[in-house]
């Protein structure tokens, strides 16, 4: 499911030059199109999670993937820009419960000792989907056009829906019962009073901005910088994501070794978060690099540390939060803020490209944003977060 989800997202980024030509878009309008699925995705993350708890993963999985697959086909037969944007908004509706559904299935079925590995396997679908989606879309769009490519990807989603109903049991194990007294007493106010929480939020917003920028504009950026055809740009994009997976795993392993001698509740993991954000900021060097190998290495390092930094930041939140039964709500709040900032990335990139005529200023700006996030990560997350009594400990 995760691979298909991000493969469908990659398809739009790869097909964007063709869509710009067909709908006669400016780069600013293209940025709005790239962000349009996030308009519904952002607002429906929480409601779709509530629906998931009520009717279960089997039905939500079927309807979610079915809706976004139908949206892919709807986009393929849209002949006006408003109709195409509507298809992207509907796609966001379908994709909104993806991560909640994955986490729920892992919690229900994975043995506790293997739940971390199961979630890692699930989230690895992000990079796999973006890489394979870029490669497959590049071939299909260059060979048959973007409309047949979208239809084929939609059909793949419907095949998954049928398989899901056949594989996932109608009755699943009951999740561990929560402490309802703790849930009744829980409040989000203490999070807003915690400098440590805001340090995590600012860092996540900065890294998410870079993530959404690359996810939406990378094939176009590579095509322009390296003078590549549509298929070659998609191939280089896939290579970037493949290399980024290796970098992120190596960075995560090295970070755990570095932190092994530190007390994590004192916020020591913030050093890893700050380092990762600085490494992501290395993308600001891209305009100065003229050779293809150097540009690729820069992008692979930056994209790899996006994943490593996001993971380290979420782990930092878990380190500092005393009441671990509140971790889900804390993660939800952080993702709400960071996804809200992520919506701006495709739009601002498009308008900067339209005004300046190049992507150079985009890289300089995002590098400054990431350095600011690294500073916030270093200075703010220093104390544990206690939510039971409404104050930070």
pLDDT tens column, 13-22: 899 989 999 9
Nearest to 2 by CA among 103, 78, 136, 93: 103
**pLDDT, position 327:** 58
Whether residue 51 has pLDDT greater than 90:
no
State yes or no: pLDDT of 224 exceeds 90.
no
Q: In this predicted model, what pLDDT tens digit does every residue of 65-104 receive, in sequence order? A: 999 999 999 999 999 999 999 999 999 999 988 877 887 7
Q: Which residue has the tokens 């998931």?
A: 52
When comparing pLDDT for 65 and 339, which is higher?
65
- pLDDT surpasses 60 at 142: yes
Q: What is the DSSP string of 54-105?
A: HH-HHHHHHHHHHHHHHHHHHHHT--SHHHHHHHHHHHHHHHTTHHHHHHHH
pLDDT-derived band at 177, boundaries 50, 70, 90 = very low
Instruction: Of 362, 330, 347, give the one whose Cα is nearest residue 35.
Output: 347
- Where residue 392 falls among pLDDT bands split at 50, 70, 90? very low
Considering the chain, what is the average pLDDT of its residues?
A: 83
Residue 200 pLDDT greater than 80, yes or no:
yes
pLDDT tens digits along 263-283: 666 677 888 889 999 999 999
Token readout for 233 is 């740009």
What CA–CA distance (Å, rounded) separates 206 from 277? 8
Report the pLDDT value the prediction gives residue 182, as an integer from 0 to 100.
46
Is pLDDT larger for residue 119 or for residue 165?
Answer: 165
Q: How far apart are CA 240 and CA 127, in angstroms?
A: 10
pLDDT over 50 at 309, yes or no: yes
Q: How confident is the model at residue 393 (pLDDT cuts 50, 70, 90)?
A: very low
At 202 the pLDDT is 93
pLDDT(316) > 90: no
C-alpha to C-alpha distance for 165 and 160, rounded to whole angstroms? 9
Say what the pLDDT of residue 179 is. Answer: 45
pLDDT range class, residue 185, cuts 50, 70, 90: low
Distance CA 341, CA 323 (A): 27
Our CA angle for 155, 152, 95, nearest 5°, is 60
Residue with tokens 């607002």: 43
pLDDT of residue 180: 46
Structure tokens at 325: 């039964």
CB distance 384 to 196 below 8 Å: yes
Q: What is the pLDDT of residue 264?
A: 63
Eight-class DSSP state of 390: S
> Closest Cα partner for 80 from 23, 145, 151?
23
DSSP H stretches of helix in the chain: 2-23, 27-55, 57-76, 81-95, 98-109, 115-144, 146-167, 180-185, 189-192, 195-226, 230-259, 270-280, 292-320, 327-342, 344-356, 360-379
pLDDT-derived band at 366, boundaries 50, 70, 90: very high
Report whether pLDDT(178) > 90: no
Determine the pLDDT at residue 146: 92
Which of 51-55, 175-179, 223-227 shows the lowest mean pLDDT across its residues?
175-179
* DSSP label of 389: S
* Gap between the Cα atoms of 1 and 94, Å rounded: 12
pLDDT at 183: 46
């Amino acid at each position: 499911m995760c691979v298909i989800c991000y493969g469908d997202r990659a398809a739009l980024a790869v097909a964007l030059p063709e869509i710009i030509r067909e709908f006669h878009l400016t780069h600013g309008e293209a940025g709005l199109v790239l962000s349009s699925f996030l308009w519904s995705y952002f607002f429906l993350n929480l409601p779709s999670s509530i629906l998931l708890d009520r009717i279960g993963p089997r039905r939500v999985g079927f309807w979610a993937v079915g809706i976004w697959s139908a949206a892919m086909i709807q986009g393929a037969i849209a002949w006006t820009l408003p109709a195409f944007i509507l298809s992207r908004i509907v796609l966001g509706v379908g994709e909104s419960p993806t991560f909640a559904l994955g986490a729920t299935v892992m919690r229900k079925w994975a043995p506790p000792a293997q739940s971390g590995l199961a979630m890692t396997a699930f989230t690895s679908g992000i990079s796999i989907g973006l890489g394979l989606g870029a490669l497959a879309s590049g071939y299909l769009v260059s060979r048959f056009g973007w409309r047949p490519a979208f239809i084929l990807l939609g059909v793949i989603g419907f095949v998954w829906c049928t398989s899901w109903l056949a594989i996932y049991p109608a009755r699943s194990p009951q999740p561990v019962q929560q402490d309802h007294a703790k849930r009744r007493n829980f409040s989000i106010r203490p999070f807003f009073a915690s400098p440590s929480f805001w340090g995590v939020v600012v860092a996540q917003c900065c890294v998410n901005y870079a993530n959404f920028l690359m996810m939406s504009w990378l094939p176009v950026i590579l095509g322009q910088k390296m003078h590549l055809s549509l298929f070659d740009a998609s191939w280089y994009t896939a290579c970037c994501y493949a290399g980024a997976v290796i970098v992120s795993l190596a960075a995560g392993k090295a970070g755990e070794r570095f932190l092994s001698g530190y007390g994590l509740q004192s916020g020591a993991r913030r050093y890893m978060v700050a380092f990762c954000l600085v490494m992501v900021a290395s993308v600001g060097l891209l305009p100065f690099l003229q050779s293809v190998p150097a540009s690729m290495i820069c992008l692979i390092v930056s994209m790899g540390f996006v994943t490593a930094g996001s993971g380290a930041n979420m782990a930092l939140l878990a380190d500092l939060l005393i009441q671990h039964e509140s971790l889900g709500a804390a993660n939800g709040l952080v993702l709400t803020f960071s996804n809200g900032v992520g919506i701006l990335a495709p739009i601002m990139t498009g308008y900067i490209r339209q005004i300046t005529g190049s992507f150079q200023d985009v890289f300089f700006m995002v590098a400054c944003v990431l350095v600011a996030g690294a500073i916030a990560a270093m200075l703010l997350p220093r104390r544990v977060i206690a939510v039971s009594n409404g104050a930070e400990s």
